[in-house]
Amino acid sequence: MNTRFDITEEELPIFRAEAEDQLQILEEGLVQLERKSQDQELVQALFRAAHTLKGSAGMIGHKRMVELTHALETVLDGVRKQALEPSSELIDVMLESLDSLHQLLDEVGSEELSSINVHSIIAQLQQLSGVQSGSASSIQKPASIASQPSEKAQSTNQADQTSQPLTIQVKISQESIASAARALQVVFALQEMGHILELNPPLSVIESATPVAWLTVMFRPTKPLYEIRKSLSMISELEEILIEGEQLKSETLETKPVQVESRPAPQAKYSLGELLVQNGLITEEQLQTALRIQRESEGPSKPLGQILVGMGWVSQEVLDEIIAEQSAQKKAPAMVSAEADTTDKGRTKVIDKTVRTSVERLDNLMNLIGELITDRNRMYQLRRELEALYRGSPQVEALSDTIIHVGRITDMLQSEVMSIRMLPISNVFNKFPRLVRDLARKANKQIDLVIRGEDTELDRSVLEVISDPLIHLIRNAVDHGIEFPEERRAAGKPERGIILLTARHEQGRIYITVEDDGRGIDVNRVKAKAVEKGQITQAEADAMSEDEAIELIFVSGLSTARTVSDVSGRGVGMDIVRANIEQLNGNIQVETWLGKGTQFTIILPLTLAIVPTLLVKVCGSTYAIPLVTVNETLRIKAKDIQTVNGRPVISLREHVLPVCNLGEVFALQSRDHGRTKNDYEYIVVVRSGKSQLGLIVDDLIGEEEVVVKSLSSVIGEVIGISNAAILGDGQVALVIDVQGLIKLVTSWSERSGRFERLPD
Amino acid sequence: MAKILVVDDAEFLRVRISKMLSSEGHEIIEAENGLKAVETYKSARPDLVLMDITMPEMDGLTALREIRSFDSSAKVVMLTALGQESVVLEAIKAGARDFVVKPFEKERVLSAVAKLVG
Ranges of each domain in chain A: 11-136, 163-332, 359-423, 425-521+560-605, 610-751
Q: Which residue of B has its CA nearest to A238?
A: B98
Task: Report CB contact under 8 Å: A181, B81.
Answer: no
Catalytic choice (A62, A107, A254, A476): A476
The CATH number linked to B74 is 3.40.50.2300
Cα gap A446→A478, rounded to integer Å: 9
| Number of folded domains that form chain B | 1
| Residue A503 exposed, middle or buried by CB count within 10 Å (0-12, 13-18, 19+) | buried
| Residue of A58, A180, A341 with shortest CB distance to B25 | A341
Q: Which of A133-142, A359-368, A620-629 is least confident?
A: A133-142
Task: Report CB contact under 8 Å: B80, A178.
Answer: yes
CB A638 within 8 A of CB A677: yes
Cα gap A554→A571, rounded to integer Å: 10
- What does residue A674 show for φ and ψ, rounded to 5 degrees? 75, 35
Give the CA distances from residue A296 to residues A242, A272, A292, A300, A301, in Å, rounded to whole numbers and listed in that order.
33, 19, 6, 11, 8
Mention the CATH class of domain A163-332: alpha beta
Residue A186's nearest CA partner among A177, A196, A176 is A196
CB < 8 Å to A233, chain B: 115
Is residue B35 predicted with pLDDT exceeding 90?
Answer: yes
Give the structural domain span for B31: 3-117
CB < 8 Å to B72, chain A: none
Determine the angle formed by the axes of helices B85-93 and A179-191, rounding to 10 degrees.
10
Report the complex ipTM: 0.80
Q: Name residues 253-292 of chain A within 8 A of B (Cβ).
A: 266
CB < 8 Å to B93, chain A: 142-143, 145, 148, 184
pLDDT computed for residue B116 by the predictor: 86
Task: Report CB contact under 8 Å: A137, B84.
Answer: yes
Looking at CA atoms only, how far is residue B104 from chain A in angstroms?
7
Looking at CA atoms only, how far is residue B23 from chain A in angstroms?
7
Write out chain B in H/E/C secondary structure. Answer: CCEEEEECCCHHHHHHHHHHHHCCCCEEEEECCHHHHHHHHHHHCCCEEEEECCCCCCCHHHHHHHHHHHCCCCCEEEEECCCCHHHHHHHHHCCCCEEEECCCCHHHHHHHHHHHHC
pLDDT computed for residue A245 by the predictor: 62
Q: Which residue of B has its CA nearest to A331?
A: B115
pLDDT tens digit string along A228-280? 888 888 788 888 888 876 444 333 333 333 333 333 333 334 567 766 766 66
Query: pLDDT band for position A554 (50/70/90)?
Result: confident
Higher-scoring residue by pLDDT: A142, B4:
B4
Is residue A214 predicted with pLDDT exceeding 80?
Answer: yes
Is residue A289 predicted with pLDDT exceeding 80?
Answer: no
- What does residue A298 show for φ and ψ, rounded to 5 degrees? -85, 160
Query: pLDDT band for position A619 (50/70/90)?
Result: confident
The strand pair at A422-424 and A509-516 is best described as unpaired
Residue type, A566: D
Residue A19's nearest CA partner among A75, A71, A60 is A60
Looking at CA atoms only, how far is residue A122 from chain B in angstroms?
17
Catalytic choice (A27, A28, A67, A73): A73
- What does residue A747 show for φ and ψ, rounded to 5 degrees? -65, -30
**What CATH number does domain A610-751 carry, 2.40.50.180, 3.90.550.10, 3.30.1490.20, 3.30.1370.100?**
2.40.50.180
The answer to whether the bond into B103 is cis (omega within 30° of 0) is: yes
Work out whether the CA dihedral A600, A604, A606, A608 comes out positive or negative: negative
Is residue A132 predicted with pLDDT exceeding 70?
Answer: no
Residue A565's nearest CA partner among A628, A479, A633 is A479
Task: Report CB contact under 8 Å: A184, B116.
Answer: no
| Residue A743 exposed, middle or buried by CB count within 10 Å (0-12, 13-18, 19+) | middle
CB A725 within 8 A of CB A707: yes
pLDDT, mean of residues A645-651: 82
Cα gap B29→B7, rounded to integer Å: 9
pLDDT computed for residue A716 by the predictor: 65
pLDDT tens digit string along A172-212? 888 777 888 888 888 888 888 888 888 888 888 888 878 88
| A476 counts as catalytic | yes
Cα gap A116→A130, rounded to integer Å: 23
CB < 8 Å to B11, chain A: 14, 18
Percentage of chain B beyond pLDDT 90 is: 43
**Any chain B CB within 8 A of the CB of A152?**
no
Cα gap A613→A734, rounded to integer Å: 11
Work out whether the CA dihedral A140, B66, B92, B72 comes out positive or negative: positive
Looking at CA atoms only, how far is residue A158 from chain B in angstroms?
26
CB A692 within 8 A of CB A631: yes
CB A585 within 8 A of CB A611: yes
Query: pLDDT band for position B25 (50/70/90)?
Result: confident
Percentage of chain A beyond pLDDT 90 is: 10
CB < 8 Å to B25, chain A: 337, 340-341, 343-345, 347-348
pLDDT computed for residue A571 by the predictor: 43
Task: Report CB contact under 8 Å: B88, A181.
Answer: yes
CB A753 within 8 A of CB A743: no
Is residue A140 predicted with pLDDT exceeding 70?
Answer: no
Catalytic choice (A28, A51, A472, A548): A51
Query: pLDDT band for position A301 (50/70/90)?
Result: low
Cβ contacts from A onto B, under 8 A: 158
What is residue A666's three-state secondary structure? coil
Burial readout A222-259 (b: 16 or more C-beta within 10 A, e: otherwise): bbbbbbbbbbbbbbbbbeeeebeebeebbbbbbbbebb
Residue B96's nearest CA partner among A254, B3, B72 is B72
Report the largest interatomic distance among the alpha carbons of chain B, rounded to a whole angstrom.
34
Q: Report the CATH architecture of A359-423.
A: Orthogonal Bundle (1.10)
pLDDT tens digit string along A80-121? 888 888 888 889 889 989 989 998 898 887 777 777 778 888
pLDDT, mean of residues A344-360: 56
Q: Name residues 183-222 of chain A within 8 A of B (Cβ).
A: 184-185, 188, 207, 209
**Any chain B CB within 8 A of the CB of A61?**
yes
Q: Which helix (H) or strand (E) holds A630?
A: strand A630-637
Q: Which of A11-20, A719-728, B25-34 is least confident?
A: A719-728
Report which listed range, A300-309, A613-622, A720-729, is most confident.
A613-622
Report which listed range, A127-136, A350-359, A558-567, A646-655, is most confident.
A646-655
DSSP labels, A538-600:
HHHHHH--HHHHHHGGGSTT----SS--SSS-SS-SHHHHHHHHHHTT-EEEEEEETTTEEEE
Is residue B105 predicted with pLDDT exceeding 90?
Answer: no
pLDDT computed for residue A669 by the predictor: 62
CA Rg value for chain B: 12
pLDDT tens digit string along A471-496? 889 988 998 899 999 999 999 999 99
- HSE value, Cβ hemisphere, 13 Å, CA-based, for A570: 7
pLDDT tens digit string along A593-605? 988 999 999 988 7
Residue type, A658: P
Q: Name residues 399-458 of chain A within 8 A of B (Cβ).
A: none
pLDDT computed for residue A673 by the predictor: 52
Q: How does the average pLDDT of chain A come out, rounded?
A: 76
Task: Report CB contact under 8 Å: A55, B27.
Answer: no
What is residue A7's three-state secondary structure? coil
Looking at CA atoms only, how far is residue B95 from chain A in angstroms?
9
pLDDT, mean of residues A320-342: 50
| Residue of B1, B16, B83 with shortest CB distance to A347 | B1
Is residue A41 predicted with pLDDT exceeding 50?
Answer: yes
Fold designation for A11-136: Four Helix Bundle (Hemerythrin (Met), subunit A) (1.20.120)
Higher-scoring residue by pLDDT: A508, A127:
A127
DSSP labels, A96-135:
HHHHHHHHHHHHTTSSPPP---HHHHHHHHHHHHT--GGG
CB A456 within 8 A of CB A505: yes
| Residue of A14, A176, A185 with shortest CB distance to B92 | A185
Cβ contacts of A431 within 8 Å, gap of 6 or more: A27, A467
Which DSSP state fits A601? E
Q: Which helix (H) or strand (E) holds A17?
A: helix A11-33
Is residue A325 predicted with pLDDT exceeding 70?
Answer: no
DSSP labels, A192-244:
TTEEEEEEES-HHHHHTT---SEEEEEEEESS-HHHHHHHHHTSTTEEEEEEE
pLDDT computed for residue A336 by the predictor: 37
pLDDT tens digit string along A59-84? 888 888 988 998 999 899 888 888 88
CB B6 within 8 A of CB B34: no
- HSE value, Cβ hemisphere, 13 Å, CA-based, for A105: 23
pLDDT tens digit string along A653-687? 888 888 888 887 777 765 555 455 557 888 999 98
Is residue A724 predicted with pLDDT exceeding 80?
Answer: yes
Higher-scoring residue by pLDDT: A257, A17:
A17
- What does residue B114 show for φ and ψ, rounded to 5 degrees? -60, -35
CB < 8 Å to B107, chain A: 334
CB count in 10 Å sphere of residue A667: 7
Cα gap A34→A47, rounded to integer Å: 15
Work out whether the CA dihedral A58, A60, A63, A64 comes out positive or negative: negative
Task: Report CB contact under 8 Å: B86, A142.
Answer: yes
DSSP labels, A355-368:
----HHHHHHHHHH
Percentage of chain A beyond pLDDT 70 is: 76
CB count in 10 Å sphere of residue A347: 12
Q: Which residue of B has its CA nearest to A12?
A: B12
Task: Report CB contact under 8 Å: B97, A234.
Answer: yes
pLDDT computed for residue A101 by the predictor: 92
Cα gap B94→B68, rounded to integer Å: 8
Query: pLDDT band for position A342 (50/70/90)?
Result: very low
Query: pLDDT band for position B33 (50/70/90)?
Result: very high
pLDDT computed for residue A259 by the predictor: 36
Adjacent-strand bridge partners of A635: A682
| Residue B58 exposed, middle or buried by CB count within 10 Å (0-12, 13-18, 19+) | middle
Query: pLDDT band for position B39 (50/70/90)?
Result: very high
- Does the structural domain A425-521+560-605 have CATH classification 3.30.565.10? yes
What is the spatial order of strands in the sheet that A509-516 belongs to?
A447-452, A497-506, A509-516, A597-605, A587-593
Q: Which of A160-164, A513-517, A583-587 is least confident?
A: A160-164
CB < 8 Å to B80, chain A: 177-178
pLDDT, mean of residues A122-136: 67
pLDDT computed for residue A482 by the predictor: 93
Q: Which residue of A has its CA nearest to B24?
A: A341
CA A91 to chain centre: 22
Which DSSP state fits A481? I
pLDDT, mean of residues A679-696: 85
Cα gap B65→B47, rounded to integer Å: 16
**Any chain B CB within 8 A of the CB of A328?**
no
pLDDT computed for residue A684 by the predictor: 93
